[in-house]
Amino acid sequence: MGANRQSLHAEPLVRHPQHAEEAWQMKRLWGATASYTAGGTLLRTQWESGLAPVPAYLIDLSGIAELHGIHDEADGNWRIGPMTTLTSCRSHLGLQTAHPLLTEAVRNIAAPSVRNLATLGGNIVSAVGDALPALLACNSVLQWRTEQGITDQALTEWLEAEQLQSAWKERLLVGIQLPRQTSISQTKRILAYHKVGRREAFTPSVVTVAINGQLGDDGIWRDIRIAAGGGQTRPRRLEHTEALLMENPSNSPSLAVVYQSLLAEFKPKGDSFASADYRRRTAANLIVSELWKAAKRLTEER
């Protein structure tokens, strides 16, 4: 489970470390000729389509117990092992209650037969997985085995810097932490996740957006995180728009300004099927419609 550059090799040798430390040592030893493998669903499709060469070594992480499982920790944080399948995330009742954004995002990824193999860690290290906007909106932290031991890193930071850090290619993702959601008094939590694709189900995303906020009784957002991605766009937080929202009452006039802010801030990649402009407008429409719905509900409840 690391982003890997691989050299061409027809039949990779598969190694089965039992501990994260062993896996990391193997990757250090073999470098770019080896690839960590989790569910292997993305790697397999990349090999089949010629987007990535088959590596000489596969470092199979499935036998490493410490990389599995979903844990509700004493401090209220949730820790998910990167080898946890998307199916396990989707069906975990505690996670559904504590972090419904994530379980909803996972429900929208591929189909059950793929989710039974694919892992949350694999979705993350792809850097374009559809779980990422939800994880960003939950302020998630990644835990890596690095040269310096176990290191925590905000998901936001990793997504922004990973492409520029060749030394990070050998890191091993060992945990995903979802911090406890703190509640602000006299606010209502607003959650939304949308994935737009070119067909109804089991579709590659064109746009994904996630919102996690607390809307005050006075119509002012006290806390909000908005993330957007989709397709080959690395998801990212839209922090300028978040700041704008927390400065302004949530009403219609300000939503027009928010819409323009979203158009300016989100910079998706286009492709032959959907242009960058289409994706930008779709994301802005989705986000603003959720903000409008939240404001409308608040007005109706007053």
Which residues of this protein are in contact with other proteins, per CB under 8 A?
11-17, 22, 25-26, 29, 40-41, 44-45, 48-49, 54, 58, 60, 62, 87, 107, 110-114, 116-117, 201-202
CA of 96: how far to CAs of 11, 105, 201, 224, 258, in Å?
A: 40, 11, 21, 20, 30
Residue 65 or residue 243: which is nearer to other proteins going by CB? 65
Give every CB contact of residue 199 below 8 A, 6+ residues apart in sequence. Answer: none
Residue 90 or residue 280: which is nearer to other proteins going by CB? 90
CB of 15 to other proteins, least distance (A): 4
Residue 115 or residue 280: which is nearer to other proteins going by CB? 115
Taking residue 233's Cβ as centre, other Cβ atoms within 10 Å add up to 24
CB of 232 to other proteins, least distance (A): 16
Residue 16 or residue 240: which is nearer to other proteins going by CB? 16
Is 92 in a helix, a strand, or coil? coil
Interatomic CA distance for residues 21 and 149, integer angstroms = 10
Question: Dihedrals φ, ψ of 256, to 5°?
Answer: -65, -40
CB of 41 to other proteins, least distance (A): 5
For 149, the enclosing helix (H) or strand (E) is strand 149-154
Residue 44 or residue 281: which is nearer to other proteins going by CB? 44
CB of 296 to other proteins, least distance (A): 26
Burial 161-173 (b: 16+ CB within 10 A, else e): ebeeeeebebbbb
Residue 91 or residue 146: which is nearer to other proteins going by CB? 91
CB of 197 to other proteins, least distance (A): 11
Is residue 232 within 8 Å of residue 217, measured between CB atoms?
no
CB of 219 to other proteins, least distance (A): 34
Location of structure tokens 């006299």: 186
